[in-house]
């Protein structure tokens, strides 16, 4: 199965155009002020017009209230909401019902024990996104270039599609796909030249590598350890 490719944190017409031209399935836009990828609503509206129907527009929020979500939906016209905060199962259900949009819920992962909440969220979401758990001192929950031991996702059957995120880049995405066999991969910092500054060449390289990885069967022996995986972030 060829995985979906999501390029997240896009903020300029040039980088959005590169992602679309290279065939990204999903394009993500961040609405969270502490992030270097945060968009104002006017910019979001302009980028939405550029994207059109060429890819699924995903609005990433962190514990946003209904008023802010209303404004984001009006400006971006997203086809999916990505909830990247501490939203409860009930809050996710409320958002999905209120806006009538597919929802992707991010789950922070460091060890296999962190997969426990998935069973509660699976019935109320359309996708699960696994991202590396942020350190306690972090000001945002994702986009930090951190990874985790991908092998804990091997053979995972959630009953709902999942995307892999956290520390992915053009050099390691094929390996990550071979280990986890996700429904999709999501990258932000791994295609940047500086925090919040997308690199067109890296976007192209990432999408090409993800496509190649989805079409091949890599040799998974020996199994990489969490240390070796994290070192590639």
Question: Is 232 or 156 the better-scoring residue by pLDDT?
Answer: 156
pLDDT computed for residue 139 by the predictor: 47
Per mean pLDDT, which range of 66-75, 100-109, 145-154, 195-204 is the poorest?
A: 145-154
Residue 141 pLDDT > 60: no
Residue 222 pLDDT > 70: no
Which sequence spans correspond to the domains of the chain? 4-230
- May I ask the CATH class of domain 4-230? alpha beta
| DSSP-derived secondary structure for 182-223 | -SEEEESGGGEEETTEE-HHHHHHHHHHHHHHHTS-----SP
pLDDT computed for residue 156 by the predictor: 84
Catalytic residue among 8, 25, 169, 186: 8
22 is catalytic: no
| Cα–Cα distance for residue pair 204/51, rounded to 1 Å | 17
pLDDT tens readout for residues 2-13: 899 999 999 999
Question: What letter does residue 171 receive in the DSSP assignment?
Answer: T
pLDDT computed for residue 121 by the predictor: 97
Question: Is 231 or 27 the better-scoring residue by pLDDT?
Answer: 27
Spatial neighbors of 46 by CB under 8 A, at least 6 apart, are 13
Catalytic residue among 63, 70, 74, 131: 131
Residue 92 pLDDT > 60: yes
What count of other Cβ atoms lies within 10 Å of the Cβ of residue 173? 27
| DSSP 3-state of 70 | helix
Residue 66 pLDDT > 70: yes
């Amino acid at each position: 199965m060829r995985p979906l490719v999501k390029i997240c944190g896009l903020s300029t017409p040039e980088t959005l155009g590169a992602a679309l031209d290279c065939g990204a399935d999903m394009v993500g836009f961040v609405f969270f002020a502490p992030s270097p990828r945060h968009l104002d609503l006017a910019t979001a509206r302009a980028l939405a017009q550029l994207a059109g129907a060429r890819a699924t527009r995903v609005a990433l929020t962190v514990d946003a209230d209904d008023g802010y979500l209303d404004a984001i939906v009006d400006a971006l016209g997203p086809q999916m909401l990505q909830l990247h905060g501490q939203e409860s199962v009930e809050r996710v259900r409320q958002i999905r019902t209120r806006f009538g949009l597919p929802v992707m819920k991010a789950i922070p992962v460091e060890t296999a024990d962190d997969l426990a909440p998935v069973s509660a969220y699976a019935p109320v979401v359309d996708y699960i996104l696994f991202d590396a758990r942020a350190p306690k001192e972090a000001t945002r929950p994702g986009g930090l270039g951190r990874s985790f031991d991908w092998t804990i996702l091997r053979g995972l059957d959630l009953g709902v599609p999942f995307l892999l995120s956290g520390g992915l880049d053009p050099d390691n995405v094929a390996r990550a796909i071979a280990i986890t066999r996700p429904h999709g991969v999501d990258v932000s910092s791994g295609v940047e030249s500086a925090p919040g500054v997308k690199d067109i060449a890296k976007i192209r390289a990432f999408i090409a590598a993800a496509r190649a990885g989805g079409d091949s069967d890599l040799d998974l022996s020996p199994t990489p350890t969490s240390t070796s995986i994290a070192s590639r972030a």
